[in-house]
Amino acid sequence: MTDFLAAEDRALLERNGLGTFDALWAKQLEAVDEPNTDGGGWSSVFRLELEGHAYYLKRQSNYLTRTLHAPFGEPSFAREFRNISRYNKLGIPALQAAFFGQRKVNGEVRAILLTRALDGWDDLDSLLQRWSELTTVQQSAILKACGQLARRLHGLRQVHGCFYPKHIFLQADGSGYQAQLIDLEKTRPLLFGLRDRVKDLEPLLRRAPEWSEAQLRELLAAYVDQPSDSSLVDSWVTRLTARRNRKETR
C-alpha cells in the first residue's frame, strides 16, 4: 500500500526530516499513556510538536484486527485511516490525517497514523465536568452543536459506533460552537435505519447525566430539526429513554 502524506503537512514534515515511514517510526518521543497490548502486539500514542504545529503520532506493531475488508487481520490504524478518509470525502467534521503507512518487517506488521492535534478544542467529557459553570447560552449552543453533528453523521448514512462525550470535540465559534468527531475505528455505514440511529445516540445520553430532560430535548430538536415540543422529539425521548433503561438494568 502506498503511504499517505497530506499535501498540507508535507513541507513541514519533510523540513523536519519526518516525511517518511521510517523516520516517523524511529522518532524518539514520550508516550502520552500506557501502550495497548493485544495478541502479542502493541499500540502506542505520542505527541509530536513541530514549529508550532501539534500532532498525535500513533505507532503499532502486530496489533491486528479482523474485518470484512481484511478477514485475516490488518492493523487497526488501517481501518481508522479508511474511515477518516471517508468522513473527509463525505464532509463529516472529524479529525484529519497527516500521514498513514504500514510495513511488514521480518514478519512484524507495523503501522503509523499521524493526525493533527485538536489544540484549542475541548472534548465534551471535560465540558460536562464543569457543566454547571457554563452559562445557559453556552449549554444550549453545545447541545445544538452535538445534535447537528449527529444529524449530519446519520444523514450521510454513517454510524460512529462510539458516540461518547470523550469522542466529541467542541470549539466556541462566535455565539455558537463547532463540533467534530475523533476515534473513528468502529464507524460503519448506517444499515438498519432507526435501530442504528437509536443505538448510536443512546450511549451519549447515558454518559451525560448532567443533562436535564429539557436539555435532552434541545439536543434532539437540533437532531431532527423540529421544535423541542414537537411530537417527533417526544417519540425520540421515549425511544432513547427505553433503551437507556434496558442498558442500565442489565
Q: Which sequence spans correspond to the domains of the chain?
A: 4-116, 122-248
Who contacts 60 (Cβ-Cβ below 8 Å, separation ≥6)?
A: 41, 42, 43, 44, 75, 76, 77, 110, 111
Distance CA 91, CA 84 (A): 10
> Consecutive sets of 10 residues in the chain, 250 residues long: mean pLDDT of each?
92 98 97 88 96 97 84 89 97 98 93 98 98 97 98 98 97 95 94 96 95 97 97 97 86
* pLDDT for 150: 98
* pLDDT for 201: 97
Q: Which secondary-structure segment (H or E) carries 19?
A: none
* pLDDT for 175: 87
Enter the pTM of the model: 0.93
Strands (E), the chain: 4-5, 36-38, 41-50, 53-61, 64-65, 74-75, 97-105, 108-116, 122-123, 158-159, 168-173, 176-181, 188-189
CATH topology of domain 4-116: Phosphorylase Kinase; domain 1 (3.30.200)
CATH topology of domain 122-248: Transferase(Phosphotransferase); domain 1 (1.10.510)
* pLDDT for 247: 82
* pLDDT for 158: 98
In the chain, what is the straight-line distance between the N-terminal and C-terminal CA atoms, in Å? 44
* pLDDT for 1: 59
* pLDDT for 70: 79
